Amino acid sequence: MTTTWQGTLTVQTRGHGLHDVTREIGARVAASGVDAGLCSVFLQHTSASLVIQENADPSVLRDLDRWMAKLAPEGPGYEHDDEGPDDMPGHLRASITRSSETIPVSGGRLLLGTWQALYVWEHRRAPHARRLVVTVQGTARGG
């Protein structure tokens, strides 16, 4: 039997940086009752993003954050600065990353690789509450 489960998750970020949400998303997959299928995660914001990235060496995450800061630096020169000097750079950073990820599910678990995790990448300096819509579709356990 095919089933669909959908829910939301609010993530409190600490400001700039990558925040691992793998465990929270995995818990929703387990609760969905889906044995095999797909998990779609959608971030409802325009100055943060989702990425699947290395989960073993924290220097990878720091290097990514430094690289992104060079690519879309904060400062004057942007027309859109209503919320401060990190406002438009946050939008630029989000525009070249992703607002959603789809991950296979098997055995009621996310099929991420050994060194992979799912992160909310906060592009603003201040902490924010970021909303994720999680949709799990597939064959139900015992179906």
- Which distant-in-sequence residues (6+ apart) come within 8 Å of 58 by Cβ? none
pLDDT value of position 76: 87
CA 134/CA 41 separation, integer angstroms: 5
Residue type, 7: G
Q: Enter the tokens of residue 13.
A: 């970020």
Range of the domain at 33: 2-140
- Identify the CATH number of the domain in which residue 124 sits: 2.60.120.460
pLDDT value of position 123: 97
CB atoms within 10 A of CB 96: 10
Region 42-71: what's the mean pLDDT? 97
Mean pLDDT of the chain: 96
pLDDT tens sequence across 3-39: 999 999 999 999 999 999 999 999 999 999 999 999 9
CB atoms within 10 A of CB 43: 22
